[in-house]
Amino acid sequence: MITTRARGAVFLDVEGFALAAVERERLLHPQAGGVILFERNFESPVQLRALTASIRALRTPPLLIAVDHEGGRIQRFRQGFTAIPAMRTLGEQWDQDIAAAARAATGLGWTLASELRAHGIDFSFTPVLDLDYGRSAVIGDRALHRNPNAIAHLACALAAGLRAGGMAAVGKHFPGHGFVAADSHLEIPVDERSLDAIAAADLVPFGALVQQGLEAIMPAHVVYPGVDGEPAGYSRVWLQDILRRRLGFDGMVFSDDLGMAGARGAGDMIARADAAYAAGCDMVLVCNDPEAAASLLERWQPPPRTELARRAAAMQGRAPSGCPV
């Protein structure tokens, strides 16, 4: 039986190819807002469609279903899906033929979105808007280019393809993860640059996509002490003053996974969720730690956010239209 319940503010994961009974109960919790899928949740296209249908059938409005499916080394589903190249290949093409690279970006966006939508996925956490400074192995060829204008051009084209394929776009990792070598999965990276330096380069793609109607953003677990002492995902300066007011962004803000090392400075999972939500994240991700997820659902009581329903509705997948290229 479908439960009628507004979406909550917690994005969860599940363990296998089908929902376990305990996972069904967890996803019915009022604080649950969506599910992020991983490679471990994919056995075949048929199985994936059954899994997403079972998640969607639990409640109305349905939980959002997402995946990290960028292309290259970050593509969770392979069998039966087009192999999306690493985004750097678009940047390399841009250096040779700007118009052709933009067309290719739009076509890849449509392919990515239409295939995921056909399998019940609402959106992918893409595009990566980080600059490739040649320092960050965790970003590396996930970045489109070193030139912020090239990234802005290609990412806008990619987002147009995503939308034509029925899918919202999520820009990450605000305000830019590419300058630091440290991997926020393993430690807390620190970027010592000034706000002026970051704004002149790393913020350019984010600003361009916001102007084009970007639906969502994911902040980085990176500290920028020249701007604020908190990581961007816990910082009202970054998320309210700069993202909302300076850039004019009015879409969804997803935290990055609160289980990552870069998020642990705030304390336990409740404290991390409190810090992210107070800073301006609309939804918080808790991955690969079912005990922490269960504890968060039972103990966390964030104040209602009136914008959540509207922002979440914008992330709901739509039927693909014709490929625009």
What pLDDT digit, counting tens, does each position of 93-143 carry? 999 999 999 999 999 999 999 999 999 999 999 999 999 999 888 899 999
- Concerning whether 173 is annotated as a catalytic residue, the answer is no
Number of domains in the chain: 1
Tell me what the mean pLDDT of segment 76-81 comes to.
Answer: 96
What pLDDT digit, counting tens, does each position of 170-180 carry? 999 999 999 99
pLDDT higher than 60, residue 310: yes
User: Does some domain include residue 321?
Assistant: no
Contact 259, 289 (CB under 8 A): yes
User: Does some domain include residue 324?
Assistant: no
Q: What is the CATH number of the domain that holds 110?
A: 3.20.20.300
pLDDT higher than 60, residue 251: yes
Question: Is residue 279 exposed (0-12), middle (13-18) or buried (19+ Cβ within 10 Å)?
Answer: buried
What pLDDT digit, counting tens, does each position of 255-286 carry? 999 988 767 777 899 999 999 999 999 999 99
pLDDT higher than 90, residue 159: yes
Share of the chain above pLDDT 90, in %: 89
Give alpha helix (H) positions in the chain: 21-27, 45-56, 88-96, 98-117, 148-164, 195-200, 203-211, 236, 269-279, 290-299, 308-315
User: How far is Cα 242 from Cα 248, in angstroms, rounded to an integer?
Assistant: 8
Q: What is the mean pLDDT of the chain?
A: 94
User: Does some domain include residue 33?
Assistant: yes
- Concerning whether 153 is annotated as a catalytic residue, the answer is no
Label residue 77 by pLDDT band (50, 70, 90). very high
What pLDDT digit, counting tens, does each position of 207-229 carry? 999 999 999 999 999 999 999 99
Structural domain boundaries enclosing 122: 3-315
pLDDT at 2: 66
User: Does some domain include residue 231?
Assistant: yes
Task: Say which residues have a Cβ less than 8 Å from residue 318's Cβ, sequence separation at least 6.
Answer: 117, 166, 167
| pTM: predicted TM-score of the whole model, two decimal places | 0.96
Q: Write down the catalytic residue from 29, 183, 185, 250.
A: 185
User: Does some domain include residue 325?
Assistant: no
Amino acid making up residue 286: V
User: Does some domain include residue 81?
Assistant: yes
User: Does some domain include residue 320?
Assistant: no
Tell me what the mean pLDDT of segment 145-155 comes to.
Answer: 98
User: Does some domain include residue 201?
Assistant: yes
How many alpha carbons fall within 13 Å on the CB side of residue 158? 34
pLDDT higher than 60, residue 1: no
Give the tokens for residue 232: 């961007």
What pLDDT digit, counting tens, does each position of 2-44 carry? 667 789 999 999 999 999 999 999 999 999 999 999 999 999 9
Task: Look at residues 100, 108, 31, 90 and name the one whose alpha carbon lies nearest to residue 282.
Answer: 31
Q: Write down the catalytic residue from 122, 132, 141, 256.
A: 256
pLDDT at 323: 79
30: left (phi over 0), alpha (psi -120 to 50) or beta: alpha
